[in-house]
Amino acid sequence: MNVIGNWFKLHFIENEGMAFGMEFGGGFGKLFLTTFRLVAVFAGYFILRNLVRQRYTNGLLVCSALIWAGAIGNLIDSMFYGLIFTDSTFHLAQLVPMGEGYGKFMHGRVVDMLYFPIVESTYPSWIPGIGGRPFTFFAPIFNVADFAISAGVIALLLFQNRYMKKGEPEPTTQA
């Protein structure tokens, strides 16, 4: 569905939860990845809490919070989506009562929907191997959680010298 012209669309797809729709080890792999995400989200909470206590810069805190929130969003999809939606292989997924979906707890797919095909064209015919084939600039389809994670990581990489500084430590009180 077009949202803004032809360059911002809502395009419903599901993936198994890894980047670019990759899969890892079938059902066991899906359970492993979801468990890993769960552990990472809990660890992220404690890391973020310690960064706040150690008075790191607001830039680092915001970037870390974006990464953590994105991880939570993708974790929620992979934990619960399969319980409350039907399979969407040949049709759009439908909301169903809890437990009547296509999968088990921690075996859901991650939903992606934001698509920005800014330029759609074809490769010039003189390029060997791909000449004449369709080309889309910015073809990945992603979700808000992916955007939050990517924005947090990119900002950390770009501004690491500025963000990786501690402020004054909080005063400690003795009881």
Q: Which of 112, 145, 148, 149 is catalytic?
A: 112
Where b means 16+ CB within 10 Å and e means fewer, 72-104 reads bbbbebbbbbbbbbeeeeeeebeeeeeeebbbe
**Per-residue DSSP letter, 124:** -
Q: Tell me whether residue 87 is one of the annotated catalytic residues.
A: no
Look up 77 and say whether it is catalytic.
no
Angle between helices 26-53 and 58-84 (to 10 degrees): 150
Name the active-site residue from 37, 70, 102, 146: 146
Euclidean distance between the first and the last CA atom of the chain, given in angstroms as a whole number: 61
User: Which residue numbers are catalytic?
Assistant: 112, 146
